[in-house]
Amino acid sequence: MTVSEADSKVFTPAAIAPQFVKARQEGVFVPGYPGDVIPDSMAQGYAVQDIAIDLWPDELVGWKVGLVPPQHRERLGAERLAGCIFKSKVQDAKVGAPNEYRAIEGGFCAVEAEFIIRVGKDAPADKTEWTAEEAAEYVGEVIVGVEIAGSPLATINKLGPPVVSSDFGNNDGQILGQVIPNWRDVAWEDMPVETIINGVSLGKATAATIPGTPLAAFAFLLGLVASRGKPLKAGQIVTTGATTGIHDVVAGDVAKIDFGPYGVIECVAVPAK
């Protein structure tokens, strides 16, 4: 390809989003990023995500929040990113048996231990700047859970945050565990979690591991989705970030997420087909 040919390529969200949606619906991988140009800003990534949300035949019931790696923050002007969660992808944690979730062969799959906020009341549509203190007033519940990070694109994280945001924020499901009683009376440092995969402990943390606490992640999300014309509604859920890290898995891997006094969630990856 000549320089002039490369320069003529145009970023086209409307051409990219349907390809991600189709691959997700069919449970198959994509060999590379769809389209001729990958997004290089968070705005471009969210432009693809917004189209995909409209194309996806399911109810939007929440959002995930993830951290932008430090090396990208200055260039992108962002510390966090967001993805979408749909109703059919949310499970309640089972007792006595592991929850199953899909792993797309040739794609990306991981589990993340999360502290999840259920929105207590509708947020104002015109407020796009929030403090953690203001956000706290919109918390209905704090729940322990597991995010299934998943994408048809195996290299999604390697290609950078705009690419992550463009494909549902690399989200493919959510498992909801116990509600933390009287969360306002419990220190974030006293909400523990350990991730164990195939019997091996891969990390211990607490809710305080989330920079600024989960309320800072919630405040970010409140502002971002309002600016996109999708203000939070009562009952929606917001995952606040991976506490022990992003743990890659393949079909057959068994994860145990231990939240101490707030219960254990077990889950197993199964082939997408």
**Quick one: pLDDT at residue 8?**
60
What are φ and ψ of residue 69, in 5° steps? -55, 145
CB atoms closer than 10 angstroms to residue 164: 29
DSSP string, 205-241: EEGGGSTTHHHHHHHHHHHHHHHTT----TT-EEE--
Q: Give the residue-averaged pLDDT of 25-41.
A: 95
Residues 6+ apart with CB under 8 A from 38: 11, 159, 160, 162, 163
Helix axes 13-26, 42-55, angle to 10 degrees: 50
**Quick one: pLDDT at residue 35?**
84
Per CATH, the number for 3-271 is 3.90.850.10
Given a cut of 50, is residue 53 above it in pLDDT?
A: yes
**Quick one: pLDDT at residue 5?**
45
Do strands 60-67 and 80-86 pair parallel, antiparallel, or not at all (unpaired)? antiparallel
Spans of all domains in the chain: 3-271
Rounded CA gap, 223 and 148, in Å?
A: 24
Q: Give the residue-averaged pLDDT of 47-67.
A: 98
Using DSSP's 3-state secondary structure scheme, residue 14 falls into helix
The tens digit of pLDDT for each residue in 247-273 reads 999 999 999 999 999 999 999 999 997
Given a cut of 90, is residue 209 above it in pLDDT?
A: yes
Rounded CA gap, 103 and 266, in Å?
A: 16
Compute the mean pLDDT over every residue in the chain, rounded to the nearest whole number: 96
DSSP string, 31-97: SS-SSSS---SHHHHHHHHHHHHHHSSS-EEEEEEEEPPHHHHHHHT-SEEEEEEEGGGEEEPPSSS
Q: Give the residue-averaged pLDDT of 149-163.
A: 98
Kind and range of the H or E run holding 17: helix 13-26
Rounded percentage of the chain residues whose pLDDT exceeds 90:
96
